[in-house]
Structure 1
Amino acid sequence: MATIGERVVNLRKRAGMSQAELASISGVSASLIRKLEQGSRSDVRLETARKIAAALRVPTTAIITDHVGDQADAETVDHWGAVRRALHGLGDQSGEPPTVDGIRRALDASMPLWRGDKYAELATTLPKLLADTDTLVGTDRSQRFVRSRLLHLTGWLLTQTRQFEAAELALLRGLDDADDLLEAAAIVSTRCWLLLRRGRLEQARQLAIKWADDVEPRISRATPRDLSAWGWLLLRSSAAAVRDNRPGEAEDAIRLARTAAVAMSRDISPGDDFLRTFGPITVAMKRAENAMVEDRPDLVLRMSQAIPTNDLAPTSNNRNRHLLDVADAHRRSRQYGEAFDVLRRIRQDSPEWIVNQGYAKDILKGIFAGRRTLTSDMRDLADFVRLDY
């Protein structure tokens, strides 16, 4: 398989461009393009790959390889080792056999940890919960629901913390136990997000499109569960398309998602499941995310003025991801103080979440590059997120 650098040089030559011309059109430094083509750099961020692809007028998937973003930080891997072992059936199953009702109560009691991004506490409690759930060998509906629900949450959490192989295992196991089509669709949506984070744009796009077609409801009769399942798959399809330099397709998908959101009237969590929270605010945040991918910081800042990011926002994860786009828009507009203030707010609200965000570190590096001096608060945040600079 050709390397990223080999693909870039072949596509560049086919387009009749020099390295300098490609750098000028894409906005990517000539130094980085040269390093990629010479093989001294073997990886690239998805955002950078999209810029190069747009300049060459090819899909992003013509450049990136499947392993983009696969590697997790060693510190994170160690932190989640017990969870991964439990997923493989190697957890501690000693003690009195659990019951379905007992596991359900334990899962319900743990929900504030999931919603509040309490990763350290989840890393401690989740292995035992997974091990207990593995003892449910029956196939009745209540057991399947509990297993599927926990495995979906686990896959979402491991995707968030860059444990991609383990996340794939959890989501596929959860899909096997899914009780109905809409429950399965919610898991598939999370899997599409996992594929996006791994740089597997075409696979994510095709999977989201197929399932969106399968669950498309009649709007006049649709329930919140119907609208959430369909809407989220459309959002995943749009996210994959915009990253793969397919702006028209991305806009079509997000326009349909907005139709579902309008029918929902407000952001709702069907079945009190925060992973399925969907509505107009969620779609607005994802539309702003697309604008950031397309390198339109001015549009992101305008859109953000109409998007609430207080306690009324749908979920902490989607709110924080949107705020990172806002911070990056400020940074690209050379509003470094405003950008840093947004990062500081995210740290205050979700300290364990921001530590796991490579995007946040990149924004902070950009702020530092644009300033002559750093404040003590800036140095403190850099130390907190373990920034290597």
Structure 2
Amino acid sequence: MSDELADSLRKYRRAAGLSQEQLAHRAGLSVGPVRKIEQGDDGVRMETLHALARALGVKTSNLMAAGAPKPVPHDNPNTLNLRELRIALTPAVGLAAPDAPTGDAPDIRRLRRMTHDSALLYYEDSYQSIAADLPALIHAANDAVAYYDHGSERLDALRARSEALQLAGRYLTQIRQYDLAHGAIKEAISDARLAGSELTAASGVGGMCFVLIRTERFDEAEDIAVATMDIVEPKIKGATVDAYATWGGLAMEAAAAAARNNRPEEAKALRRAAGTAAKAVGVSHRNLLRHWSQFGPVTAAMKELEDAMVTGDARTVVRKSGEEEELQPQAWKRLGKPSTNDGNRYYLDLARARVRTGDTSAAMEELSRLDHVAPEWFRHQTAAAITFEEITKKRRTLTADMRTVGAHLGVFG
């Protein structure tokens, strides 16, 4: 984030009348990170910026400014690995009119089943399988929209393509291909709006928030989530479970953005809204074609603890994980289990909290378990690598299990 970040931090620190040492103390950091940032070091972690923003009483986004981009390695493997999906999502465009669709009429029901089956792969963390299936799915969705140019079939095709594009966007966000993900989700929202499918479009907004939060665009993520909540807010009578789940999912996205942007009161209010929706749902509701595949009291409780981890309150995470009913596996028979992705994220947060409260053994056990049960998901998690590094700094020797996990995370060879 370069010289602009250095200038911003220096400006706010001086306005607060703080020395570098005083700011570091207030933020719960050593003075080293503050000095490095103000010297233009690019290796700053987002959680460090969150801590500094809290100490200065400003939004995290106020500290961040655009700098010159770093060079991209020529041998980036994703350039080739995602070639077919990139072709499907960003086809070449020239001046010649596209060929008219030929062949049999596309089967929209089959297309939606294909999306559903691919979503199963995504939520089971089968990233290699979904990467292989997505190009054909997107091509099929494009063919359906091109074939049906009017009537109810046209609307059905647009909605089906929106669902397929949302899935592609979620997958691409998870593997950090953010620009490609943004484009896919933007088109998904457009398709759903053209189809007149408000909840499908709102689900797409949730996916857009996912991308924006991952790219530190917190103000925008909170703004679009709250604005969409106002549009799709469930009516007191007659609201469907899908409506409550979609609205509650948007509340969770808005809360996540607010928490990361040092807006704790707004985050708390939005978490309460998510909790209200979760109570209305009652038992975890599953819809694999929505951004929030699963929503209910368990999901809402897990995501609320994520905020505590973002703000550095590891003790609260450990305490509530043992106290709150929704977080106890024995209660999941009644409330419904979390989705695999949400559950894995929760246990990763718990591992981070345990190492920061001194229980490195329990933290390492959790990382090893996650590496075993969700290896493809696990290896894409920056938080896992950070947690592992914090564990190993407190160890003189590494066990064979630690070396295996470290190699999987790319921390060392």
Under a length normalisation based on structure 2, what TM-score does the superposition of the two structures give? Answer: 0.87
Gaps of 5+ in 1: none
Equivalent in the alignment of 2:182: 168
Equivalent in the alignment of 1:239: 256
Please list, as runs of the form range in 1=range in 2, the aligned pairs for 1:47-126 lying within 5 A after superposition.
Answer: 47-65=47-65, 74-89=76-91, 99-101=106-108, 102-126=110-134
Paired residue secondary structure (1:135): helix
Aligned-pair CA distance for 1:271: 7.1
- Distance (Å, rounded) in 2 between the aligned partners of 1:381 and 1:252: 38
CA deviations on 1:13-58 (whole Å, 9 max, x unpaired) are: 111111111111112332221111111x125322111100111111
Aligned-pair CA distance for 1:130: 1.5
- Distance (Å, rounded) in 2 between the aligned partners of 1:72 and 1:297: 35
| Residues 256 and 103 (structure 1), Cα distance of their counterparts in 2 relative to 1, 3 Å cut | closer
Paired residue secondary structure (2:295): coil
* Selected match of 2:385 from 361, 381, 386: 361
- Distance (Å, rounded) in 2 between the aligned partners of 1:361 and 1:283: 25
Aligned-pair CA distance for 1:253: 0.7
| Residues 262 and 197 (structure 1), Cα distance of their counterparts in 2 relative to 1, 3 Å cut | same
| Residues 66, 199 of structure 1: 8 Å contact kept | no
- Distance (Å, rounded) in 2 between the aligned partners of 1:70 and 1:163: 16
Which letter does structure 2 place at the counterpart of 1:44?
Answer: V
Please list, as runs of the form range in 1=range in 2, the aligned pairs for 1:203-282 lying within 5 A after superposition.
Answer: 203-270=220-287, 273=290, 275-282=292-299
Paired residue secondary structure (1:177): helix
- Distance (Å, rounded) in 2 between the aligned partners of 1:71 and 1:123: 26
Aligned-pair CA distance for 1:78: 4.1
Instruction: Report the more deviating stretch, 25-34 or 264-273.
Output: 264-273
Does residue 1:351 correspond to 2:359, yes or no? Answer: no
Paired residue secondary structure (2:162): helix
CA RMSD of aligned residues (A): 2.7
Does residue 1:46 correspond to 2:70, yes or no? Answer: no
Which letter does structure 2 place at the counterpart of 1:3?
Answer: E
Equivalent in the alignment of 1:144: 158
Paired residue secondary structure (2:292): helix
Gaps of 5+ in 2: 94-98
Paired residue secondary structure (2:227): helix
- Distance (Å, rounded) in 2 between the aligned partners of 1:79 and 1:241: 34
Under a length normalisation based on structure 1, what TM-score does the superposition of the two structures give? Answer: 0.92
- Distance (Å, rounded) in 2 between the aligned partners of 1:72 and 1:279: 41
Paired residue secondary structure (1:217): coil
Equivalent in the alignment of 1:372: 396
| Residues 4, 67 of structure 2: 8 Å contact kept | no
Does residue 1:319 correspond to 2:343, yes or no? Answer: yes
| Residues 271 and 69 (structure 1), Cα distance of their counterparts in 2 relative to 1, 3 Å cut | farther
Please list, as runs of the form range in 1=range in 2, the aligned pairs for 1:329-348 lying within 5 A after superposition.
Answer: 329-348=353-372
Which letter does structure 1 place at the counterpart of 2:338?
Answer: P
| Residues 67, 199 of structure 1: 8 Å contact kept | no
Equivalent in the alignment of 1:293: 310
Paired residue secondary structure (2:10): helix
CA deviations on 1:145-185 (whole Å, 9 max, x unpaired) are: 22111001000111111000000010011111113111111
| Residues 203, 290 of structure 2: 8 Å contact kept | no
Report the structure number with the largest CA radius of gyration: 2
| Residues 76, 161 of structure 1: 8 Å contact kept | no
Which letter does structure 2 place at the counterpart of 1:100?
Answer: D
| Residues 13, 56 of structure 2: 8 Å contact kept | yes
| Residues 155, 170 of structure 1: 8 Å contact kept | yes
| Residues 72 and 319 (structure 1), Cα distance of their counterparts in 2 relative to 1, 3 Å cut | farther
| Residues 76 and 321 (structure 1), Cα distance of their counterparts in 2 relative to 1, 3 Å cut | farther
Equivalent in the alignment of 1:17: 18
Aligned-pair CA distance for 1:82: 2.5
- Distance (Å, rounded) in 1 between the aligned partners of 2:173 and 2:106: 28
| Residues 2 and 272 (structure 1), Cα distance of their counterparts in 2 relative to 1, 3 Å cut | closer
Aligned-pair CA distance for 1:110: 2.9
State the percentage of identical aligned residues. 32
| Residues 68 and 142 (structure 1), Cα distance of their counterparts in 2 relative to 1, 3 Å cut | farther
Paired residue secondary structure (2:285): coil
Paired residue secondary structure (1:199): coil
| Residues 86 and 167 (structure 1), Cα distance of their counterparts in 2 relative to 1, 3 Å cut | same
Does residue 1:383 correspond to 2:407, yes or no? Answer: yes
| Residues 83, 127 of structure 1: 8 Å contact kept | yes
